[in-house]
């Protein structure tokens, strides 16, 4: 069934297959949201006199029955239907006859897709935020547990200054707070009701868009009907950018793990049942989980550009390629959620090595602390810098004990409570 099909005209099969693509599979995920939006729409139509109370009650009951089918997993979209919207309308028409045909009054598939997608994305953003919180909590717990264990810090992949596992874990915790800000911004964009924009130019029916806005839990309207349609694709791209930022955080941490697990670094390890082996080398203990997180997340960071190119130079109004945004963003959501989940469950098993910095190869890591000792004894910074550099070049440098790092956000003052407070503030927005 195609809700746009004209009497006596059948689209050729290969055209039908090409234009529908894999929409049916993705649309199954939108089914509950399309049903919820249709229910709000039917009840609004009754309030403005476009449906009788009896008709609205029938449609509401029919939609609630369909929602139960979705929840039970019995709702399907066969090849007889182009999408979830035509399937739902067909079921209502089969059940109630002409009443079912009235559900599409004062709307288009365009605003149907928009409102269902935005309701879906609002829920998914909240799910992603919960998964971020679980990872954040794990990072902060590890930071507190290992705050006294030192770790080499690197610049240019050269030994630089002392760091700590507490500093390392809490760094990624605080970066997750920044990633939350971007997700919150996308949620704000998403929280605008597009229903009533119809095909992008509104309707001559006296519909009440404020009513559906309240019924569907949107914060506000997307007031301008053309602007509502212009948000399609742009919203998905904005979410892809937020997911890409988060993916960048996970990818970078995973790269750290892969380095730190290697025998050359040997800072951390994991239980054997979290790692994998080699088909030929019996000694191997590979960080496949973290390599796959890195790869998947690097792929996610490319998605915003893909979506940007798909929408490049499109004029205002609806265009059929806008359906192509649906699959990639849904897949991206699945991928980032799985990466967050597996990283959180894996990292809690990390085994941290102690006394790493006692190795002689890290002696120069304390050069800045030695420099500071000279400065505190009255030697100007530049002279102290030259003096320490000369001692290192001559092989005469004797590493001092590590100085006290006490300023906010340093090794000795991680500010874990402040980081948690910042994260909580962003999380609750």
**Strand 192-193 versus strand 220-221 pairing type:** parallel
Mean pLDDT of 170-194: 97
CATH topology (fold) of 110-147+169-197+223-355:
Fumarase C; Chain A, domain 2 (1.20.200)
pLDDT tens digits along 41-52: 999 999 999 999
pLDDT tens digits along 329-381: 999 999 999 999 999 999 999 999 999 999 999 999 999 999 999 999 999 99
Residue 94 makes CB contacts below 8 A (sequence gap 6+) with: 100
Tell me, yes or no, if the two domains 13-105 and 110-147+169-197+223-355 fold the same way.
Answer: no
Q: Does domain 13-105 have CATH number 1.10.275.10?
A: yes
pTM of the model: 0.92
Alpha carbons 335 and 342: distance in angstroms, whole number? 11
Mean pLDDT of 159-177: 96
Cβ atoms of 199 and 318 closer than 8 Å: yes
Give the model's pLDDT for residue 413. 95
340 alpha carbon, distance to own chain's centre: 9
In the chain, domain spans? 13-105, 110-147+169-197+223-355
Residue 103 makes CB contacts below 8 A (sequence gap 6+) with: 38, 41, 42, 59, 88, 89, 92
Give the model's pLDDT for residue 402. 79
Alpha carbons 371 and 383: distance in angstroms, whole number? 9
Comparing 136-145, 316-325, 379-388, which segment has the lowest mean pLDDT? 316-325
Mean of pLDDT over the chain: 92
pLDDT tens digits along 64-104: 999 999 999 999 887 778 788 889 999 999 999 999 999 99
């Amino acid at each position: 069934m195609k809700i746009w099909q004209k009497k006596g005209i059948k689209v050729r099969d290969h055209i039908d297959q090409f234009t529908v693509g894999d929409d049916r599979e993705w649309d199954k995920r939108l089914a509950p949201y399309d049903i919820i939006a249709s229910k709000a729409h039917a009840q609004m139509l009754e309030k403005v006199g476009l449906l009788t109370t009896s008709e609205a009650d029938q449609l509401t009951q029919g939609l609630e029955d369909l929602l139960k089918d979705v929840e039970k997993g019995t709702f399907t979209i066969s090849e007889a239907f182009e999408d979830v919207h035509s399937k739902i309308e067909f079921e209502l028409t089969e059940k109630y006859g002409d009443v079912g045909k009235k559900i599409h009054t004062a709307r288009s598939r365009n605003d149907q897709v928009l409102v269902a997608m935005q309701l879906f994305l609002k829920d998914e953003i909240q799910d992603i935020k919960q998964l971020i919180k679980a990872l954040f909590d794990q990072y902060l717990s590890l930071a507190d547990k290992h705050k006294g264990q030192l770790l080499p810090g690197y610049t240019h992949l050269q030994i630089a200054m002392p760091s700590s596992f507490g500093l390392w874990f809490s760094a990624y915790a605080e970066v997750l707070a920044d990633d939350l800000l971007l997700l919150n911004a996308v949620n704000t964009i998403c929280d605008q009701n597009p229903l009533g924009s119809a095909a992008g130019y509104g309707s001559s029916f006296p519909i009440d868009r404020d009513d559906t806005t309240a019924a569907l839990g949107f914060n506000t309207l997307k007031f301008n009907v053309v602007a509502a349609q212009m948000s399609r694709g742009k919203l998905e791209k904005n979410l892809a950018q937020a997911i890409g930022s988060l993916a960048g955080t996970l990818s970078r941490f995973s790269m750290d793990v892969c380095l730190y697990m290697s025998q050359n670094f040997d800072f951390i390890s994991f239980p054997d049942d979290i790692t994998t082996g080699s088909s030929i080398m019996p000694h191997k203990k590979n960080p496949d989980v973290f390599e796959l997180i890195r790869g998947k997340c690097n792929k996610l960071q490319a998605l915003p550009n893909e979506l940007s190119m798909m929408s490049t130079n499109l004029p205002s109004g609806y265009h059929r390629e806008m359906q192509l945004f649906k699959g990639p963003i849904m897949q991206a959501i699945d991928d980032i959620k799985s990466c967050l989940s597996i990283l959180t469950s894996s990292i809690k098993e990390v085994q941290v090595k102690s006394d790493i910095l006692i190795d002689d190869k890290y002696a120069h890591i304390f050069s800045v602390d030695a420099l500071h000792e000279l400065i505190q004894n009255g030697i100007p910074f530049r002279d102290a810098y030259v003096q320490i550099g000369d001692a290192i070049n001559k092989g005469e440098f004797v590493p001092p004990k590590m100085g006290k790092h006490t300023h906010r956000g340093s090794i000795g003052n991680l500010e874990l409570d402040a980081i948690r407070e910042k994260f909580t503030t962003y999380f609750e927005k």
